[in-house]
Amino acid sequence: MPYTLVVLIASTALAALFAGIAMLSLNQHDIRLELQLEAQAVSLQSIYEASMDELEHEARALAYTMASDPEIANILGEADHVLRGRADADDVRAVQLRAALTAKLDRQWQDLNRMFDLRQLQFLLTPDLRSFLRFHARERYGDSLIDIRPMLRSIQSDLIPRSGFEIGRTFAGIRGGAAIIRRHTDGSPPMIDAQRSSEQGEYVGTLEVGIGVDGLLRRLSEKLDIGIAVLLNSERVTSSMWSVYQPSPPPDRGTCCFLLSASRPEASGWLAASLIGRGKPKAESWLQAWEGKRFQLIRFPLIDFLGKQDPRSPQAGTILIWRDAAPTLAAHRAARSDTVRNALVGYAVVQLIVLLLLNLSRREWKRQLDLQTAAVTRLSRQNALLLNTAGEGIYGVGPDGVTSFINPAALAMLGYSAEHAVGRNQHHLFHHHHADGSPYPDASCPIFQTLRDGKRRSCEDTFIRADGTFFPVALTVSPIHDGDQRGGAVVVFRDISELKEKREALLQLATTDPLTGASNRRQFLERLDDELARLKRKGGAVTLLMADLDHFKHVNDTYGHAAGDAVLKHFVEIVSDTLRKTDAIGRLGGEEFAIVLPGDGIEGARELAERLRERIKTSPSIFENKPIQISVSIGIASLSARDPSAEAALKRADEALYSAKKAGRDRVTVHTPEPSESSPPTPVTSP
């Protein structure tokens, strides 16, 4: 075969080979760009949803905290009594109560408006959810919201606090609500309708707060350098909202969407240019050219309160997130150019080698291979840079759960080196136990569940650092599909230790008496129910003490309420110092306290009560360098496995306390069961 023909065939084959390699590399760049954009979309959606969950939790906690204020409950209770079944326009007492509530919360309303972007705060009366006071529109009251506010109806039905995104008549945003329960210091509820009473007191109304989304959008936009907007479906928006918000572009009920809020101006421009249509029921991402720039747009459904209760309800709207895609696209174009240039240079070099050195040795061929490997390595480094700059922890696993890559943010949170983490089963390395030390089987791991069924998951979990300490995380697991096969999963997580601490602080606030530090009435009754259930299951003994400070009103009248507060705190300090870790004290109201003693019978409880009574009597409270002498009366009763509820034991202890008061105070009385229910308790110990 002529040499020229051999060279021609070799050159043609070489050109085809390099062209194929270049096309394959370019296709890989395109696929890598799509995966990068998809990962960015998943990450931003996860961050938004987690931030929205935190805001909903804040709204719910804020509503519950304010609703727990006894003074607010008393005002609403009296308003409910005054206005039940009639209008309040000309009722002088209703005007006075509304003024009292306004005066109490006016300063707090201003502070909350500044701190939480609080837009709405209103109080509603039972049973028709009639508005008693709107802080954001104080001239409007008396209208019923029961037919238009599903969240308020849900709270009224079971008295459980709730929060979520809702679209109202003039406001759309995060709403939180809680039932207002009026407590009764004498231990017995008033004569009311059974549907409006509970174990804790009388249900007198509902408190609702509304938080705007503007602040959240602004914070996310500044922190992540993105634009973000909330779009509502036009048919879900009332005419009042169109007129109040006056969105841009101008109101047109025929448009697809209502722009509720946006952190940057591009969204309104896209709506005006009809570049944004109605959102789909699932997340989507695409590139959009606008005013000489290229943006990545990410859109996913907005799930409101109704949508969370019933997934079949119409979609409320969508969340639109956009970011400048120029750096990503520029890097993509540069990588493609490098690939084409490398292919051309490689072809030219190899062609020259073929023409000049057909008999080149194996060593020379290896050198050329090393050159190509270096080019591929440079491309790999460019891809790794994109992963390493992410702020969240990101790692990938294969179908067998073995870590294939992990970014620096994840390594920093976990305390491992890349050499230690890559190639290891991630679950066995830092996910093998629960926070309580119990084993964490593979079958329960959300990462392995996604590897099995290919479904995306978001949840809170616990990871283990290299030093053995645990820390809570919010994680999202997204499957990786390779055609029809599942090729593994990508995990995005962040440390939520600070969020957990805030939740625990709110729980402490909700279960503790703020003055004395003792358990509040609700928390103590729950503890008493637990002890009764344990007694019925396992037997044993549980004793209950009811304690009431003698002549406490005289202390308040003589020394002032500040001195009375000091006396109450002094009493709880002495009791806490006397009790065991397994015992518990709760403030039921005013100067009345209850103490539960698990494992103690009547004799042991009586001995402790006598010690406590004597110590209170001999340890005056010191207020402003003045001693205040106090004494305490104590009633004792045992919990019985035959008790239908803990209230029965509370009643017996209260009867014993009454006997101690009647017998002269400053004494301990034990309730002794008698053949007749009418027989009074027998005083067995006195000072």
> Looking at the predicted structure, is the pLDDT value of residue 330 above 70?
yes
> Looking at the predicted structure, is the pLDDT value of residue 565 above 70?
yes
Domains and CATH numbers, the chain: 3-48+329-388 (no CATH), 68-188 (no CATH), 216-324 (3.30.450), 393-496 (3.30.450.20), 512-670 (3.30.70.270)
Amino acid at 230: V
pLDDT tens-place string over residues 173-187:
999 999 999 986 554
> Looking at the predicted structure, is the pLDDT value of residue 676 above 50?
no
Asked if residues 323 and 227 have their Cβ atoms less than 8 Å apart, the reply is yes
C-alpha–C-alpha distance, residues 445 and 106, integer Å = 49
What confidence category does residue 684 fall into, taking pLDDT thresholds of 50, 70 and 90? very low
pLDDT tens-place string over residues 472-530:
999 999 998 876 677 789 999 998 888 777 777 666 667 788 888 888 899 999 999 99
Q: Give the pair of three-digit tokens for residue 568.
A: 């109450």
Dihedral sign of CA atoms 23, 24, 29, 32 in order: positive
- Please state the length of the chain: 687
pLDDT tens-place string over residues 270-299:
988 888 887 788 999 999 999 999 999 999
What confidence category does residue 160 fall into, taking pLDDT thresholds of 50, 70 and 90? very high
What pLDDT sits at residue 507?
A: 62
% the chain with pLDDT above 70: 88
Question: Which neighbouring-strand residues pair with 470?
Answer: 464
Asked if residues 492 and 43 have their Cβ atoms less than 8 Å apart, the reply is yes
Asked if residues 358 and 9 have their Cβ atoms less than 8 Å apart, the reply is no
Q: pTM for this structure?
A: 0.49
Give the helix/strand (H/E) hosting 446.
Answer: helix 446-453
What pLDDT sits at residue 244?
A: 62
> Looking at the predicted structure, is the pLDDT value of residue 540 above 50?
yes
Rg (C-alpha) for the chain, rounded Å, is 35
Residue whose entry in the numeric block shows the structure tokens 């009292």: 100
CB atoms within 10 A of CB 287: 13
Asked if residues 136 and 94 have their Cβ atoms less than 8 Å apart, the reply is no
Alpha helix segments (H runs only) across 68-211 = 70-83, 92-116, 150-158
Checking DSSP bridges between strand 632-638 and strand 668-670, what pairing results, if any?
Answer: parallel
379: left (phi over 0), alpha (psi -120 to 50) or beta: alpha
Least confident span in 80-84, 155-159, 600-604 = 80-84
CB atoms within 10 A of CB 139: 5
CA 44, distance to chain mean position in Å, is 18
C-alpha–C-alpha distance, residues 394 and 408, integer Å = 8
What pLDDT sits at residue 250?
A: 53
Q: Which DSSP string do the residues of 133-186 spell out, in sequence order?
A: EETTSTT----B-TTT-HHHHHHHHH---EEEEEE-SS-EEEEEEEEEEE--TT
pLDDT tens-place string over residues 452-487:
888 999 999 999 999 999 999 999 999 988 766 777
